[in-house]
Structure 1
């Protein structure tokens, strides 16, 4: 089985949700493999620090890509596993009501707003004055999707393992409560980012009900950018198509027919003297076309 080919096919033909999950897993594997080489070389692996969101604004200005790159980063397998399971479950519910472009915009913009909450909190609240933090993971984006679908379809019941069935609004409220409580724990930055993502999910649906799709512009831009990039890497056809002009009158027509017949006669003479294998590729094509006519 061609595993690489199958992965490429499912990524190309799959939904936006499939591609988001593949991107998260792919980034995780690439960073882990690169980290092995750094370890064997006895060097510190600093790439994560260049992709995660720093809490210090002076550093953030030097790394403006991090509010996007961080939402595809996971340091541990368990962190990745739970985020991807949540993304799959809640992403499926989201796609039940909306198309993939909306899921992509909620994921990206929810992650960006989550990063904004994190940066503001670390620069406003005195408890973080002497703290240098790094934010990474897809959790803020996941919260945006969860809250968005919970606001849109609050009474939809989902099954929780070992617990039973609960309306989606209670599941979202439970996770939000855990995030609020968790701010004073070992992961304050991550929990604050969760709240930022949740805010975007609520705000997005509230505006969508008013007829305003706040993510439409981003989705259009990404689609155009994707089409442009694919065009750059798509191999160009080397085939040249030529068109023969029709004869202008009977005299011209007869002249063209005579030229063609002379060429056929020359080729037949060549076959009689040297055999068919002596013909060039072009001569064989001329003979083949004449036989079809």
Structure 2
């Protein structure tokens, strides 16, 4: 099994959190090819990808309220964000569903983008932003709001509470808001606020993520081909057959049983613990 097959398998088994990380990395690689100016050593994102604070731009390109959250202005920008996203996602998925994860990521990115353009409009500033930081902050703060006293072990530091980590990041954003990248820090804080509100509403019975889920389902069903079977009405007298009891016992075949054992092994010890033969078997089964 080569590296490409290994990555494909991780993409299939990693769930929505791993896929969002892959999407961010893919967008960064695309931007390196098309938007990086090697002569001056910096990115030049077009106005149809980055979110501009100019009303004359974002009003005609409303999709940029989402696309900006998948592109990054540099390798270390991407690396740091993906490390925090992986950390936050692991904790978030302990308590919430994949639909809630995707819904929070998308809605927080949009909300933070709106706060950014409004803030810059009233401050009479003009700029554009890219980066997943706002959505990542939403995921981190949402988890912290739900389980603030969770113990987390950090390298070289030891065991700390989750709220300690989140508080330090928020304080750093507040301290740097006037030093540079003001729009970025404003969007970070907006994302944090949305993550807090998201969990509080969820605890009161309102799940905002259904907005995203229903929108995705609508477009999926819209483009899904419906069977072209003509309607036919048949009238027939019949006697309703006696229903036979259906067994609720499901017998798994040998291959399915082996897949379940491998997935249990991954959930307990991680993907890297699998043998080469187990990886190859799982990859072939996923085709």
TM over 0.5: yes
| Residue pair 2:68, 2:131 contacting (<8 A) in 1 also | yes
2:121 paired residue number? 123
> Aligned equivalents of 1:183 and 1:45: distance in 2?
22
1:256 paired residue number? none
CA deviation string 1:148-181 (max 9, x = no partner): 0000001001122322222111221211111111
> Aligned equivalents of 2:154 and 2:121: distance in 1?
38
Map of 1:115-264 to 2, 5 A cutoff?
Answer: 115-125=113-123, 129=124, 131-226=125-220
| Residue pair 2:43, 2:74 contacting (<8 A) in 1 also | no
User: Aligned with 1:132: secondary structure?
Assistant: coil
CA deviation string 1:190-217 (max 9, x = no partner): 0000011011100001101101101112
Unaligned runs of 5+ in 1: 233-293
1:114 aligns with 2:108: no
CA deviation string 1:44-92 (max 9, x = no partner): 9754432111011111112211110000001211000010010101100
Compared CA separation, residues 180 and 141, structure 1 to 2 (3 A): same
2:270 paired residue number? none
**Distance apart, 1:4 and its partner CA:** 3.7
| Residue pair 1:73, 1:136 contacting (<8 A) in 2 also | yes
> Aligned equivalents of 1:99 and 1:107: distance in 2?
12
1:82 paired residue number? 80
The structure where helix makes up a greater share of residues is 1
User: What's the TM-score once normalised by structure 2's chain length?
Assistant: 0.72
Q: How many pairs are equivalent?
A: 225
1:49 paired residue number? 47
Compared CA separation, residues 222 and 12, structure 1 to 2 (3 A): farther
**Distance apart, 1:14 and its partner CA:** 2.8
> Aligned equivalents of 2:15 and 2:197: distance in 1?
24
Q: Root-mean-square deviation (CA), in Å?
A: 2.5
1:95 aligns with 2:93: yes
| Residue pair 1:52, 1:134 contacting (<8 A) in 2 also | yes
2:252 paired residue number? none
1:71 aligns with 2:69: yes
Runs of 4+ in structure 1 off by over 6 angstroms are none
| Residue pair 2:52, 2:128 contacting (<8 A) in 1 also | yes
| Residue pair 1:116, 1:196 contacting (<8 A) in 2 also | no
1:246 paired residue number? none
2:246 paired residue number? none
CA deviation string 1:211-236 (max 9, x = no partner): 1101112123224535766x57xxxx
> Aligned equivalents of 2:167 and 2:126: distance in 1?
30
Which structure carries more relative contact order (alpha carbon 8 Å, separation 6+)? 2
| Residue pair 1:55, 1:119 contacting (<8 A) in 2 also | yes
User: What's the TM-score once normalised by structure 1's chain length?
Assistant: 0.70
Query: Which sits farther off after the overlay, 56-65 or 143-152?
Result: 56-65
> Aligned equivalents of 1:208 and 1:215: distance in 2?
9
Unaligned runs of 5+ in 2: 226-287
> Aligned equivalents of 1:45 and 1:84: distance in 2?
19
